[in-house]
Structure 1
Amino acid sequence: MEAQDASLAEAGERRIDWAMRSMPVLRAVAARFEATRPLEGLRIAACLHVTAETAVLVGALKAGGAAIALAASNPLSTQDDVAAALRTYDIAVHARAGVDRDTYYRHINEALDIAPDLVLDDGCDLVNTLHTERVELLDGVSGGCEETTTGIIRLRQMAAEQALRFPMVAVNDTRTKRMFDNRYGTGQSTLDGIVRATNTLIAGRTVVVAGFGFCGRGVAERARGQGARVIVTEIDPVKALDASLQGYEVLPMSEAARTGDLFVTVTGNRDVIRGEHLAEMKDGAILANAGHFDVEIDVRALEGMAHDVHLGVRPHTDEYVLADGRRLLLLAEGRLVNLTAAEGHPAAVMDMSFSAQALAVAWLAAERARLAPGVYDVPADIDAEVARLKLAAAGIAIDALTPVQAEYLRSWRLGS
């Protein structure tokens, strides 16, 4: 371990301990894993955001008997003190905040050097690297889990083209992940990152949210809750109608660009904000991305339009001055604003997502021999178990079906 790591490890320990306080479900899973050792002898390569919450997940997997190599799933999201602390737990961490693209992929390859039995991914970069650059390792990989919407989009396309060589579990598609992590976690942490980077007042501002999936819905709700006028842009007519019926103004980006003060992209697609939109924006408009990759805002177009660039006018805020004097503010280089300018989702939210992830890994370890390559949903009983454990930790009780009710639901013969 490097001297710099050693000096950071104590701070990382404190950060991990703080996160662990709000993760009772994952603590319970870790205790179960320590007793049953469902991952005994397995090697896991993971490409995840290296945060305190991820450290708690990695600790649970290690308690289950796994050897783990961890790389970052974003060049700017690594908490270096957490990485240092994890190294003291005998976890091979290949991550550092602020690395360039080449180093980012070198770290992924270093994690893959463990020759994994299972993989964990957040955005599909590790799985993509396995299928393009490290094909010699594919026969040894018997399955994996994907954490985020963008990654699952890529995996489903791989499966459709029969390119995916092993089963992948779509952790992102659980109800607990979509409803709580994507909606409440992304909503809160995105605004947290924007406010930390700019110290702007949300109340009274016009906030344009591009995309009204669970993540976009969360951002829109939190912005409206802070007093913003919220405009939604969408390509999906059903989601656009949903946004309209919830009281949001729905416009094409070409129109929203003229009135927005703050723009947040949350789509999983590229070029959502393009040069023609940038040309219409008002002086001082703020551009932030909460989608996984840095392609939703066309940063190259912005650079080409800029007459002058002032990097770091505030932490994680760069100012692009256009030829006519208008200034556009780009946050976090167009990367994930909530993990670059803030700390990502609250630990209480990640408790559910990472508990589902850990239980899905254990299920996959047991079932992998009979699963064909493809994308699989997390078993419904795992999702329900995570929710039950979270309710129990919060001291919340719910009803149960009576035998008569259960029989009624099983029978088609009983009518009115």
Structure 2
Amino acid sequence: MEARERARLDAYFSRIAREFTPSALPSSLLVTHLLPERPAFVRAVGTVSHLRGVLPKPKSIDTTAKREVGRTFAVDELNRERFTDPDAALAYLESRAAGEPVVLLDVGGYLAPTLNAMCERFSGMVLGVVEDTENGHKRYAERAKLPCPVVSVARSPLKEPEDFLVGQSVVFSAEALLRGRGDILHGRPALVLGFGKLGSSIARLLHAKGVHVTVYDIDPVRRAQALSQGFSVARDRDRALKYAGLVLCATGALALRGEDFPELKNGAYVATVTSSEDELELSGLPDGYTRHGAADHVTRYETTGHYFYLFNGGEAVNFLHGASVGPFIFLVQAEIIAAVRVLAQGGLEAAMHEVSAADRRGIAATWLHYYNER
């Protein structure tokens, strides 16, 4: 990032932080993708709260950004095991914010499995959770009873530009890996599993590039939406797998079971938009398959009479190229900061909540002041 852009970003987040600083600062723990532009956001979180620990998602860490953040804040290792064991999660929370009111800033529902234990046994007080993603939103919303408020920005109108552009970045990275092998998208029928915000964006760009796209979603409403937008919609998901040369998994849940992989067309490529642990049951791959590197970030799985390729080890393919969505990501990050104030003010019941429309309008106006060039 050039100095001028960095200065503009710092000025933007300074203004956002001034607008949303609570009267009494809570402590916070921050789960985040630690990408090159992220330190400005982290510093803003550190302005509106006492930021006790930064937990970067392990597959999206830029080493320069990590060093920069680490000069000011504690940067700790994030893994699902830490937050699936209630005792381990509680021990970490106590080590960073014992006795303090704390806001938990999550990406992908990492903290959901042990949230009850942290709320019930923590020496301080968990004021609530801020969740950034649709996958994480579902993990909190599907609980029978929440132990604290959860403010989700996953379905905010301010997130729509990000979701659309993430889908575009997925197609960019998949095409780049294909071209690196001397292959192209054209002539390779694509199957998009999941027709939510990301899946629909992926399908639209593939179609615009002249690729024949078939869509499948478990929700019949989304299948009807896909059909109305001109896409082929698979009646039978398993049959569709047999004909796809490129399979893009955008469900946010388990998309391909172990027994699905042998049904893939020979030479098919598989990519995900989240992670292998969410989308792919690689551990269930039948015996007999071996794997080896076919190219940078492309793994070939093969057995007698069958082979397929996996991009980026099954992790989100767009992170290979920075997963950049430009300045639109700063809209959502500002809403996360606004959510910190919402939780710090208290008074919310233990349920799912959103940032107010008035706060969203204020964020959008500030963002336009800095990023609308005309």
Query: TM-score range with shorter-chain normalisation?
Result: 0.7 to 0.9
CA contact (8 A) 1:53 1:350 kept: no
* One-letter amino acid matched to 1:167: P
From 353, 377, 381, give the equivalent of 2:358: 381
1:123 aligns with 2:108: yes
Report the Cα offset of residue 175 of structure 1. Answer: 1.1
From 142, 157, 162, give the equivalent of 1:181: 162
From 12, 21, 41, give the equivalent of 1:28: 12
Deviations 1:265-313 (Å, cap 9, x if unpaired)? 111222x2234432222221111111356232221233x3443211x33
Report the Cα offset of residue 253 of structure 1. Answer: 1.9
1:357 aligns with 2:340: no
Distance 2:220 2:359 in 1: 32
Distance 1:219 1:110 in 2: 41
1:191 aligns with 2:171: yes
Distance 1:306 1:80 in 2: 37
Q: SS where residue 265 of structure 2 aligns? A: coil
Distance 1:70 1:212 in 2: 32
Distance 1:298 1:68 in 2: 35
CA contact (8 A) 1:94 1:108 kept: no
- Structure number with higher helix proportion: 1
Please give the root-mean-square deviation of Cα atoms over the aligned residues, in Å: 3.0
Q: SS where residue 283 of structure 1 aligns? A: coil
Report the Cα offset of residue 361 of structure 1. Answer: 1.5
Q: SS where residue 333 of structure 2 aligns? A: helix
Q: SS where residue 286 of structure 1 aligns? A: strand
Report the Cα offset of residue 32 of structure 1. Answer: 4.5
Report the Cα offset of residue 37 of structure 1. Answer: 4.2
Q: Between Structure 1 and Structure 2, how many residues are aligned?
A: 364
Cα 1:365/1:388, change in 2 over 3 Å: same
Distance 2:89 2:80 in 1: 11
Distance 1:39 1:80 in 2: 34
Q: SS where residue 75 of structure 2 aligns? A: strand
Distance 2:138 2:56 in 1: 20
1:210 maps to 193
Q: SS where residue 352 of structure 2 aligns? A: strand
Structure 2: 5+ residue runs without aligned partners?
none
From 276, 294, 297, give the equivalent of 1:313: 294
Deviations 1:318-375 (Å, cap 9, x if unpaired)? 2111221x22111233222222x23124232211111111122223222x2x112111
Deviations 1:116-168 (Å, cap 9, x if unpaired)? 6111001111243343478532751111210001111111122xx12x21111
Cα 1:314/1:110, change in 2 over 3 Å: farther
Report the Cα offset of residue 29 of structure 1. Answer: 3.9
Distance 1:174 1:278 in 2: 35
* One-letter amino acid matched to 1:318: T
Distance 2:27 2:329 in 1: 23
Report the Cα offset of residue 236 of structure 1. Answer: 1.3
Distance 1:48 1:128 in 2: 18
Deviates further, 287-296 or 75-84:
287-296
2:205 maps to 222
* One-letter amino acid matched to 1:249: S
Deviations 1:189-214 (Å, cap 9, x if unpaired)? 21233234443422332121101111
From 241, 248, 255, give the equivalent of 1:257: 241
* One-letter amino acid matched to 1:320: Y
Q: SS where residue 143 of structure 1 aligns? A: strand
TM-score scaled by length of structure 2: 0.86
CA contact (8 A) 1:306 1:320 kept: no
1:152 aligns with 2:131: no
Cα 1:105/1:20, change in 2 over 3 Å: farther
* One-letter amino acid matched to 2:350: P
Distance 1:149 1:138 in 2: 30
Q: SS where residue 47 of structure 1 aligns? A: strand
Cα 1:39/1:130, change in 2 over 3 Å: farther
* One-letter amino acid matched to 1:355: A
From 310, 329, 345, give the equivalent of 1:330: 310
Q: SS where residue 123 of structure 1 aligns? A: coil
Distance 2:282 2:167 in 1: 23
1:52 aligns with 2:36: yes
* One-letter amino acid matched to 1:155: Y
Cα 1:192/1:134, change in 2 over 3 Å: farther
* One-letter amino acid matched to 2:364: A
Distance 2:23 2:317 in 1: 34
* One-letter amino acid matched to 2:76: H
CA contact (8 A) 2:226 2:233 kept: yes
Report the Cα offset of residue 69 of structure 1. Answer: 0.9
Q: SS where residue 378 of structure 1 aligns? A: coil
